[in-house]
């Protein structure tokens, strides 16, 4: 609804304007009336109306002064001047304030409605144009933001970029007015199995708001880029701001840490890359930040990590070789407990290495997981290896969690292989049962069934007994007798005819087998249940 104020020192005129117009049909409402210019101006400042209808002559502050001051408060205010013939020339002076709507007394309904309709059209057109302009501006800002963000994306993806200040400005629209650049990464660690996409999006929004509020004012320019559960940032700032920037980053991390009780089982950590003075050094700075964040595995979460430790300098091949040997038998017999022992022993071996660093721990577990997946011989090895490293290992905030993910991977893959082998074993049994159901009325033999499913008699017999808990001959007899029971209950066929229908050419043999299984002969069974 468009808001309207009516100002006239004659109350009857105010009432008349209110009565004459069909405000609801116009999509307008009168939100106030005033008897003088001062009162009207106060209403305008408080309510910010869309339309002001005012007399040109009023005590205190006249119509022209009212319009002038009202336009200062509401630049887009539409004004209708009410004027008598005697003051028409005076009213025309209002044109310099952008007033083009006049109503001469006495006011006629048709003229009032026509004037208001024209004003409404102008107002709605202006609103549409403003919204379109705003949308276009927002779209341009979004495109610019994405373009700037692509700088971090390209760096993270390992794109070979020959960066310079000119390149930053021309290609990525990053001005880089400050003397120094610094990258950072904020890591959000959580169990990806227990947190949904909506919760992640909320976390990202909170992280972005916290970082922007904390850093934008002390930087010449900043970029943020989200990838998975990590927030990557690039800061450009003036000389002498190094300590202030570090403090702000620490403050941002503390703010996120303070909200952990709200978010649940989530950990936050932050690492900063080296401060550099040249754009071409940004790649090194970002690499440092990515490696430094892994130190949370040893140093703990909630810390601002800086600098990349040298580490042990060992390739850790000896420990991995021992792990590979330990899992050989576990994989052969598909023993999850034995595989878990191998994982725990690997953890003990690695932890004991002097000066081991988080980066090296991460690498050991990643290699071990890839090794286990490759050795166990499953489909989609590369996909599983990639998911293990990129999806699960990266979300570990402690060394115990990291090795826990390795153990979980081992257990999962062993279970998968066990299920696959069980299905393979069950398949010939399913085929055999299907064959029996289709041919039990015929004088089928074990050899026939084995030939149908493609197995030797000895292997099939042992497999059938293992999978079903009974021998093949016993199973065939049970199927035949079950069908005979149905026929005895539901048909008037003779016992001999029923015996032939279920695969017995000899009535005595049929009757004997029936009595052994049911405890009654066929005739007795029919009397009781037929």
Q: Which residues of 456-492 are buried (b: 16+ CB within 10 A; e: fewer)?
A: eeeebbebbeebeeeebeebbbebbbebbbebbeeee
Residue ending a domain, among 384, 419, 454, is 419
CATH number, residue 491: 1.10.10.60
Confidence category of residue 165, pLDDT binned at 50, 70, 90? confident
Q: Is residue 47 part of a domain?
A: yes
Confidence category of residue 315, pLDDT binned at 50, 70, 90? low
Q: Looking at the structure, do residues 283 and 246 belong to the same domain, yes or no?
A: yes
Confidence category of residue 436, pLDDT binned at 50, 70, 90? confident
Is residue 348 pLDDT above 80, yes or no? yes
Surface-to-core class of residue 71, CB atoms within 10 Å of its CB (0-12 exposed, 13-18 middle, 19+ buried): middle
Q: Which residues of 294-324 are buried (b: 16+ CB within 10 A; e: fewer)?
A: bbbbbeebbbbbbebbebeeeebeebbeebb
Q: Is residue 133 part of a domain?
A: no
* Full residue range of the structural domain in which residue 368 is found: 317-419
User: Would you state the pLDDT for residue 282?
Assistant: 92
Q: Looking at the structure, do residues 191 and 297 belong to the same domain, yes or no?
A: yes
Q: Looking at the structure, do residues 283 and 329 belong to the same domain, yes or no?
A: no
Q: State the total domains in the chain.
A: 4
For residue 26, the Cα-to-chain-centroid distance in whole angstroms is 45
What residues does 468 pair with on adjacent strands?
Answer: none
Q: Is residue 7 part of a domain?
A: yes
Q: Looking at the structure, do residues 71 and 108 belong to the same domain, yes or no?
A: yes
CB proximity list for 469: less than 8 A, separation 6 or greater:
none
Q: Looking at the structure, do residues 297 and 321 belong to the same domain, yes or no?
A: no
Mean pLDDT of the chain: 86
Q: Is residue 425 part of a domain?
A: no
Q: Looking at the structure, do residues 184 and 119 belong to the same domain, yes or no?
A: no
Helices 457-468 and 446-453: angle between axes, nearest 10 degrees: 90
Confidence category of residue 140, pLDDT binned at 50, 70, 90? low
Residue ending a domain, among 419, 451, 478, is 419
CATH number, residue 102: 3.40.50.2300
Tell me if 489 sits within 8 A of 526, measured CB to CB.
yes
Q: Is residue 435 part of a domain?
A: no
Q: Is residue 337 part of a domain?
A: yes
% residues pLDDT > 90 (the chain): 34
Confidence category of residue 143, pLDDT binned at 50, 70, 90? low
| Paired tokens of 217 | 């004012």
Confidence category of residue 273, pLDDT binned at 50, 70, 90? very high
Q: What is the pLDDT of residues 231-242, one digit of tens each?
A: 999 999 999 999
Q: What is the pLDDT of residues 186-198, one digit of tens each?
A: 998 887 777 777 7
Q: Looking at the structure, do residues 324 and 409 belong to the same domain, yes or no?
A: yes
Confidence category of residue 138, pLDDT binned at 50, 70, 90? low
User: Would you state the pLDDT for residue 95?
Assistant: 56
Is residue 23 pLDDT above 70, yes or no? yes
Is residue 210 pLDDT above 90, yes or no? yes
Q: What are the residue ranges of helices labelled H in 157-241?
A: 165-172, 197-215
CB proximity list for 434: less than 8 A, separation 6 or greater:
none
Residue ending a domain, among 273, 306, 339, is 306
Q: Is residue 311 part of a domain?
A: no
Lowest mean pLDDT among 22-36, 153-167, 316-330, 403-417: 153-167
């Amino acid at each position: 609804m468009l808001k309207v104020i009516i100002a006239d020192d004659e109350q009857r005129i105010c009432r008349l304007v209110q009565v004459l117009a069909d405000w609801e049909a116009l999509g307008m409402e009168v939100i106030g009336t005033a008897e003088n210019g001062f009162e009207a101006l106060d209403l305008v400042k408080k309510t910010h109306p869309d339309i002001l209808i005012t007399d040109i002559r009023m005590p205190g502050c006249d119509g022209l002064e009212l319009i002038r001051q009202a336009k200062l408060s509401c630049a887009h205010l539409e004004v209708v001047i009410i004027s008598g013939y005697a003051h028409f020339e005076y009213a025309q002076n209002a044109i310099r304030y952008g007033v083009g709507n006049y109503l001469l007394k006495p006011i006629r309904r048709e003229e009032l409605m026509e004037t208001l309709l024209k004003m409404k059209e102008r107002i709605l057109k202006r609103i549409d144009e403003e919204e379109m302009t705003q949308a276009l501006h927002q779209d341009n800002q979004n495109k610019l933001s994405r373009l700037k963000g692509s700088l971090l994306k390209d760096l993270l993806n390992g794109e070979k970029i020959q960066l310079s200040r000119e390149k930053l400005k021309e290609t990525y629209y990053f001005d880089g007015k400050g003397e120094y650049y610094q990258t950072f990464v904020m890591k959000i660690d959580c169990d990806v199995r227990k947190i949904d996409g909506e919760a992640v999006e909320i976390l990202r929004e909170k992280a972005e708001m916290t970082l922007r509020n904390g850093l934008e004012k002390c930087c010449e320019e900043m970029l943020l880029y989200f990838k998975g559960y990590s927030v990557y940032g690039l800061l450009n700032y003036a000389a002498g701001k190094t300590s202030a920037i570090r403090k702000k980053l620490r403050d941002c991390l503390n703010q996120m840490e303070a909200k952990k009780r709200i978010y649940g089982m989530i950990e936050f950590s932050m690492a900063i890359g080296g401060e550099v003075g040249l754009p071409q050094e940004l790649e090194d700075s970002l690499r440092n930040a990515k490696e430094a964040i892994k130190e949370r595995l040893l140093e703990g979460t909630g810390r601002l990590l800086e600098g990349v430790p040298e580490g042990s300098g060992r390739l850790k091949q000896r420990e991995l070789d021992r792990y590979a040997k330990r899992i050989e038998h576990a994989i052969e017999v598909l023993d999850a407990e034995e595989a878990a022992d191998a994982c725990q022993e690997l953890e003990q071996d690695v932890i004991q290495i002097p000066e081991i660093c988080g980066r090296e721990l991460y690498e050991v577990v990643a290699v071990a997981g890839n090794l286990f997946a490759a050795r166990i011989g499953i489909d989609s090895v590369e996909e599983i290896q990639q998911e293990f490293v990129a999806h699960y290992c990266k979300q570990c905030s402690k060394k115990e969690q990291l090795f826990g993910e390795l153990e979980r991977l081992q257990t999962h893959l062993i279970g998968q292989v066990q299920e696959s082998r069980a299905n393979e074993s069950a398949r010939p049994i399913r085929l055999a049962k299907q064959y029996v159901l289709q041919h039990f009325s015929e004088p089928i033999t074990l050899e026939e069934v084995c030939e149908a499913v493609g197995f030797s008699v000895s292997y099939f017999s042992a497999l059938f007994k293992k999978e079903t808990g009974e021998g093949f001959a016993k199973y065939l007899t049970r199927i035949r007798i079950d069908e005979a029971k149905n026929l005895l209950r539901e048909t008037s066929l003779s016992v001999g005819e029923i015996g032939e229908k279920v695969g017995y050419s000899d009535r005595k043999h049929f009757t004997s087998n029936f009595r052994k299984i049911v405890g009654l002969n066929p005739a007795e069974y029919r009397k009781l249940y037929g």
